Chain A
């Protein structure tokens, strides 16, 4: 950390301004926080995004509806699937495109796989921040198994460009169901190891309990969603609140914890992974036959009627929204992503850091699942 300025406050309680930036080993992602500290206590924190601003929303205004697909997934490398879904759904709403039932099921299977892959990435980041390199390695390996499935399903490992308006881009390859289940079993078999080594480890408990507490009221006042809210005992999940896809056709639960601290948030992430695995099995059980895709109009001539829509869904990190406006032309007139990390990283993080120890900065930030690329866009 770099000392930017010193402010004499008299005696030993000097207030220092420290820069916790992207080059710092404890920082995950291209993000920075300016910390005002007294001793090792944070007095005030200011989040500084902007290292990854790529101007996607402006670029989208210059590309046709279909050409934006390779772009939107890149807004967030952690979980591109939900980005594809939110954009597809918005385009479908504006253009009045319908998705066949099998397409909806495959979308949900793909989205739940994306959620697990994202959570494993998050677990890697979090455990690494706390010094659990082994657990991080496992998580990355298991994420890789899911990326292998994506490769098989979509042809790409990370930027899959799989969900399109009208359904999905290809049907499931032969034997995909079995291989998915094999991967999920392999990950599931490792859960006791994860538990023993990490989730039920004293070190994790000591570092995470009571740290970075965000109360339910605070979360609700500052736009908190996802784990931030669910870690305060509120079963708020857009998949239940405003169901999309086929989430209302299968039976699943919203995991919650009570304390609102880093520990609760990470435990919610853990429980969600397990719930997603169960959900995928249930989705496969009910997977109907038939087409997976309704053809969309010729992309060179596709004018979408004038109008606006706001679509929201539950990404791995909370409420992901998209405000999409069309002026009746072949390109979006305006697209604005409401990403969950935006309030989590810019408003809640600043509040949650105040009063905490410097050494918990990364800990709290990752427990809030702050993902820099989706803040900057």
Chain B
């Protein structure tokens, strides 16, 4: 032991502090301000909150429970539920994980931390914020710390809030490799290249598993599970999950309208998970569906169903019914299956072999296809009703509409144009093409025409334009399609209405005369365009394509039977909850029934009808 021994009196030096001001504060008359990042009681922006429940899932203490708030409106297609987080402050540890994982950025913490109450039930509480519960947030002069509780809080007292650089999710999608516009517009090469395994896994990893997408999907696919299986390196399981509800992954993986992605909680602040591309990856990465799925047709029930139309709805119904053990025959006037997906989406978006992959699998389950067979000509509808125990109408909208303007007969109809190019001998286009319409079919027609122009008129300058009644913000085509069309150099003339196709002396098309559109919809929101007749515009062009819509063709049904077929006010075939029409034993689905007019809804209709047919035929 070393060192001198200090004095015992040394400690008296501390006595000088007897005469200094104390460092403690006079609580509760004097309050200490919590730091700006303080992690206190929750705040939740009810408008931004989607009720996805990620906060509930991340909470390590199970302090958060999603509770139903009946007065809130549900909107599955936008990804909104009427659930809101309820916090149990007996369990909460104020770690803030819920804040960092909130994809909507709705949940924050405030700097309030005092709750004085005699009733312990008040510790369980559904947080709101100043916007929706302003009366509980008081300005400084009305606030008293002696009354502080969850209903008596400070105004503008935001604490720990989300910082996207530090959030527990990734907002940026793994970019999908695509052929650049300059290259892709020269041929029918498939534009979207598809993810590699690593890219798919990286994208699947972003999924927070909240399941809002599943509520939005018309066919209710197990999206969380099939995306999760991709992350787990198990494409077989992913495919099995998809096939529970959708037997067309290769088709839907390319052209689905992806209602799921509109609902994705990550889409609130960033890019939704690329669910459609992930489905495509699963379909593309599996060579042989049969080996992965290990599905066999159900035990033969001795009954058979005739399906009119081999589009997505008819194909899906054939698949569902084969699994249940029914015999299935599908009639279609086209030489192959796919229906609208076969003739509509051009090769660069949906190549035929992608369709064949799905179709071949369904055929392998023992479905009988009768192609090039037009119901109403080669076989009558009444005969089908007689021979088969049930019939399914899935004929789609196959009859293109024309504008009916002067010289409209000089124009091509989009559906015929697309069909001829995809499965026919092809169409010759001029150097200046005008497409009438602003929907997805119009985009397809315009972009296809552009490719044909480049192929048929190489080394010369070509022009493709579209003209639509709707203005930019009203265009019915998806933003993606419009953006890609513009990238390829297609010119848009929104808010112009076609008036007349001008022809020269030899009857050759010179161009399209248009008038300015004042408004497309009337005050009641109905389609009723009005024009400013004084403002005209002439669009030069030697080829004009009309792409303003299509309607169903029921001419194959005899007048007597047709008279018994009921329709809704929107001219859709009326079906009951089992998918059956007003004709006994006749079921219907797809574009003639629903207003979504897309493949995934057609599949959903088929699923309903398959259950309905099963009940009908088994006498339940």
Contact = CB atoms under 8 A, between A and B. Distances in A.
A202 B6 contact: yes
A153 interface: yes
Interface string A188-206: 0000010011101111010
B10 interface: yes
Contacts of B41: none
Given A70-B93, A170-B163, A202-B6, A298 B13 contact: no
Given A141-B23, A170-B163, A155 B96 contact: yes
B37 A69 contact: no
A299 B169 CA distance: 8
Interface stretch (A17-25, A60-68, A221-229, A243-251): A60-68
A153 B39 CA distance: 11
B426 interface: no
Nearest to B12: A197
A55 interface: no
A301 B170 CA distance: 12
Interface string B223-245: 00000100100000000000000
Interface string B7-45: 110110110010000010000000000111111000000
A60 to B, nearest CB: 10
A67 B62 CA distance: 11
Interface stretch (B204-212, B283-291, B413-421, B558-566): B204-212
B13 A196 contact: yes
A154 B37 contact: yes
Given A151-B34, A154-B37, A155-B38, A300 B57 contact: yes
Contacts of A69: 95, 97
Interface string B154-170: 00000110010110111
A68 B58 CA distance: 11
Interface in B356-409: none
A173 to B, nearest CB: 7
B6 A205 contact: yes
A210 B206 CA distance: 61
A198 B166 contact: no
Main secondary structure of the interface of A (DSSP, over half): loop
Interface string A11-36: 00000000000000000000000000
A55 to B, nearest CB: 15
A292 to B, nearest CB: 9
Main secondary structure of the interface of B (DSSP, over half): loop
B570 interface: no
A125 to B, nearest CB: 18
A201 B1 contact: no
A209 B165 CA distance: 53
B5 interface: yes
Interface string B95-133: 111001100000001000000000000000000000000
B616 interface: no
Given A155-B35, A170-B163, A193 B60 contact: no
Given A155-B159, A299-B101, A173 B14 contact: no
Interface in A119-150: 132, 134-135, 141, 148
Interface in B193-225: 204-209
Chain A interface size, as a band, is: 35 or more
A134 B13 CA distance: 11
B205 A193 contact: no
B60 A68 contact: yes
Contacts of B100: 169
A286 interface: no
A341 B57 CA distance: 35
A193 B101 contact: no
A152 interface: yes
B206 A298 contact: yes
Contacts of B61: 70
A202 B38 contact: no
B188 interface: no
Contacts of A299: 58, 101, 168
Contact of A201 (B6, B35, B101, B228): B6
B11 A203 contact: yes
A159 interface: yes
A252 to B, nearest CB: 25
Which 9 A-B pairs give the minimum distances between C-beta atoms? A67-B60, A70-B95, A155-B39, A202-B8, A155-B37, A152-B35, A155-B160, A151-B35, A200-B6
Given A301-B204, A301-B231, 17 more contacts: A63-B60, A67-B58, A70-B95, A71-B60, A153-B37, A155-B159, A156-B39, A173-B37, A193-B13, A201-B7, A201-B11, A205-B5, A296-B168, A300-B54, A300-B57, A300-B207, A301-B209
Interface of B: 1-2, 5-8, 10-11, 13-14, 17, 23, 34-39, 54, 57-58, 60-61, 93-97, 100-101, 109, 159-160, 163, 165-166, 168-170, 204-209, 228, 231
21 contacts: A69-B97, A70-B61, A70-B93, A71-B60, A134-B17, A151-B37, A154-B37, A155-B35, A159-B95, A196-B14, A197-B10, A201-B6, A202-B10, A203-B8, A209-B1, A297-B205, A298-B205, A298-B208, A300-B57, A300-B58, A301-B205
Interface of A: 63, 66-71, 132, 134-135, 141, 148, 151-156, 159, 161, 169-170, 173, 193, 196-198, 200-203, 205, 209-210, 258-259, 291, 293, 295-301
